[in-house]
Amino acid sequence: MLKILSFTFSPVQENTYVLYNEQGQCCIIDPGCYFQQEREELKTGIEKTGLTPVMLLNTHCHLDHVFGNKFIYDTWGLQLHFHEKEKPVFDFAPQSGALWQLPFDNYDGPIVYLKEGNIIKIGEEKLEIRFAPGHSPGHIAFYHEAGDFIIGGDVLFNMSIGRTDLPGGDFHTLVNSIQTQFFTLPDDTKVYPGHGPVTTIGFEKMNNPFVKLY
C-alpha cells in the first residue's frame, strides 16, 4: 500500500502529493511549489523520508498544479506524465501565470501521455488512471485501490466541486465525471483533493451540495 506525504503550496494554496512504497520509491503529483522556500520544503520532505522520486504526474495542467514541474525535472530528471487532452492547458499555463501575476518557467522536457484505464506502477503498487473531465478537458485522477484512496485533483472537494468557468470547463461534464468515476468507488474511499481538506466518497454523496445523492 502506498503512503502519502502532502504539502500545500503557492498563493493559490494547492495540495501537492508524494506517494511512496515500502522501498522508498515515490511519485510526485501536481508539484505546486512556487517560491524557492517551497521547492526546498518539498525536496527536504522527500529526502528526510528517505525517498527516491521515480515519476512525475499531473492530474491536470492549471498553473497552480504545474509550477514545480520544471524544478522536479531539473532536480531528479523525471519526465512529465499527463493526459493528451490537457496539452492546450499545459501550453497556456505560462500566459495564465502572467495574467495571475504569478509568472513561472514552464516544464520543457519530454511529455508522456496517460490514457484512461492505464495502470501506473510504483514498484509493485498500482495507480489506476480515471478520466474525469469537466474542470479541465483532460483531467485525470489516480486511484489506489489497495490504499482506499484517490488523488482527485480539482474534480471533487470537501463540500464543493471544481470550477467550470475556465477554458475547456463544463459543469454537466464535471458532474458526470464525479458520478461515474468517483461515486462508483467504495464509500470509505478517501479523496485527496487539489485544494482543501481530505474527504471521503461516502461523505460527499451525503453532504456535497452540488452532487449529493441522498
CB of 64 to Zn ion, least distance (A): 4
CB of 41 to Zn ion, least distance (A): 19
Q: What is the DSSP string of 85-137?
A: GGHHHHHHHHHHHHHTT---PPP-S-EEEE-TT-EEEETTEEEEEEE--SSST
CB of 82 to Zn ion, least distance (A): 12
Distance CA 45, CA 85 (A): 32
Residue numbers 26-55 binding Zn ion by CB under 5 A? none
Total of residues contacting Zn ion (CB under 5 A): 4
In 162-187, which positions are buried (b, 16+ CB within 10 angstroms) versus exposed (e)? bebeeebbbeebbeebbeebbbebee
Shortest-Cβ-distance residue relative to Zn ion: 62
**Rg of the chain over CA atoms, in angstroms?**
16
Other residues' Cβ atoms within 10 Å of the Cβ of residue 17: 24
Distance CA 111, CA 93 (A): 15
Among the listed residues 16, 29, 46, 64, the single contact to Zn ion using CB under 5 A: 64
Note whether 86 binds Zn ion by CB under 5 A: no
Distance CA 192, CA 198 (A): 5
Among the listed residues 86, 125, 154, 204, the single contact to Zn ion using CB under 5 A: 154
CB of 154 to Zn ion, least distance (A): 4
Among the listed residues 152, 168, 169, 194, the single contact to Zn ion using CB under 5 A: 194
Comparison of 53 and 162: residue with beta carbon closer to Zn ion: 162
CB of 90 to Zn ion, least distance (A): 12
Distance CA 142, CA 61 (A): 15
CB of 13 to Zn ion, least distance (A): 9
Comparison of 64 and 204: residue with beta carbon closer to Zn ion: 64
Contact window for Zn ion (CB under 5 A) among 33-41, 60-68, 142-150, 173-181: 60-68
- The residue ranges that bind Zn ion (CB under 5 A) are 62, 64, 154, 194
